[in-house]
Amino acid sequence: MTDPAAGAAGTGPGEADWAAAVAAVRDLPADAQVQLICHVNPDGDALGSMLGFGLGLRQLGVRQLRATFPGPPEVPEPFRALPGLDLLVPEEDAYPAPDLVVCFDAASESRLGGLVDRLATAGTALVLDHHASNTRFGGINLVDPRAAATSVVAEELLARLGVRLDAGIAEGLYVALTTDTGSFRFEATTPAVHELAARLLATGIRPGDISRRVFDTRPFGAVRLFGEVMCRARLEPTAAGGNGLVWTYATLDDLARHDQRPYVLEALIDSVRCTAEADVSCVVKQVRPDEWAVSMRSKGAVDVSRVAVALGGGGHTFAAGFTGRGSADDVVASIRAELDKALIEA
């Protein structure tokens, strides 16, 4: 679930980009249709940024406003109390040709699944993101690789639009910020991140309740499933140029046996990456018989986004993912083969 930003070099949006984005919203006709889209398998940053921004647009008087993401319209349980969920529609109910489409936390068009056509049918396509690998696929791109979360970019745009932060907006942006900074533990946790958190908390949102719901609550079946999956973790000390790899996998059968939904597995990587003896950690999650969603993390010796990109995915330097094929062993073998090429020069 956690998603540390790269801390990689790269510049954020220029004044012309901000001005274009502000104009794209301010100049909307009164009856405009606005479609918000976040990435497939949405995490806290994707949903929190999108819904927080959506509530900001609502404050500005945008009435025809919908939010969606590709794939089954199932919101993971940790996010089912987010303010603004009433904006969400299944992807088939997204506006076919909105005046404005805004994309959240998606590094590339492929993360928009079947909704990618809206980039062409929309009057204007605005991209809000913080992945260094972002392909600038919008007409207007607010992409800041130094931002800890997409919600940092979303909050700045809301401020430039004159939106007043309220508790509803703030909760989404706060969930996004805590998700992608690992609750203010990762390197991207700058003074500006804490200043943003302070502005969000000043609206009266309750960080204890929010964190318990988003990070510290799971069904008993998931607790037992995690136990099983953790028990089968493997440590390979010689992998990644001797920096070590720890990995485990979870199958559809594991989920069925414990009567759990796939999204419960998103938190697993946080337990696996604790392993002291490994720089790189990896969880391979079965999504179809021969298809696996892969989460990778690094503590600094390896650029896992390079591994992910080489294998068809993407992400940040220290948190990345891709879709793997074949058996779990095949997927791990493909990672092992890429790790040595992705070592970061000391």
List residues near ligand AMP by CB under 6 A. 3, 43, 107, 269, 295, 313-316, 319-323
- Strands 140-143, 124-129: pairing kind: parallel
- With CA atoms as reference, report the closest residue to 283 among 264, 296, 271: 296
Judge contact between 335 and 320, C-beta under 8 A.
no
The nearer residue to ligand AMP, 169 or 320, going by C-beta atoms, is 320
Q: How far is the CB of 244 from Mn ion (least distance, A)?
A: 26
For residue 148, state whether it binds Mn ion (rule: CB under 5 A).
no
The nearer residue to ligand AMP, 117 or 291, going by C-beta atoms, is 291
314 binds, among ligand AMP, Mn ion, none (CB under 5 to 8 A by kind): ligand AMP
78 binds, among ligand AMP, Mn ion, none (CB under 5 to 8 A by kind): none
322 binds, among ligand AMP, Mn ion, none (CB under 5 to 8 A by kind): ligand AMP
For residue 302, state whether it binds Mn ion (rule: CB under 5 A).
no
**At which residue do the structure tokens 């745009």 appear?**
157
- With CA atoms as reference, report the closest residue to 246 among 267, 230, 265, 228: 230
For residue 105, state whether it binds Mn ion (rule: CB under 5 A).
yes
Q: Which residues contact 290 (CB under 8 A, 6 or more apart)?
A: 325, 326, 327
Q: What is the size of the binding site for Mn ion (CB under 5 A)?
A: 7
User: Quick one: which of 91, 180, 279, 303 contacts Mn ion (CB under 5 A)?
Assistant: 180
Judge contact between 115 and 97, C-beta under 8 A.
no
Long-range contacts of 309-313, Cβ-Cβ distance < 8 Å, separation of 24 or more: 309/133, 310/338, 310/341, 310/342, 311/335, 311/338
Q: How far is the CB of 46 from ligand AMP (least distance, A)?
A: 8
- Radius of gyration, CA atoms only, the chain: 20
313 binds, among Mn ion, ligand AMP, none (CB under 5 to 8 A by kind): ligand AMP
Rounded distance between C-alpha atoms, residue 141 and residue 18, angstroms: 9
Both tokens assigned to 234: 């493997």
Q: Which residue of this chain has its Cβ atom nearest to ligand AMP in the complex?
A: 321
128 binds, among ligand AMP, Mn ion, none (CB under 5 to 8 A by kind): none
User: Quick one: which of 46, 132, 177, 302 contacts Mn ion (CB under 5 A)?
Assistant: 46
Residues that bind Mn ion (CB under 5 A): 3, 43, 45-46, 105, 150, 180
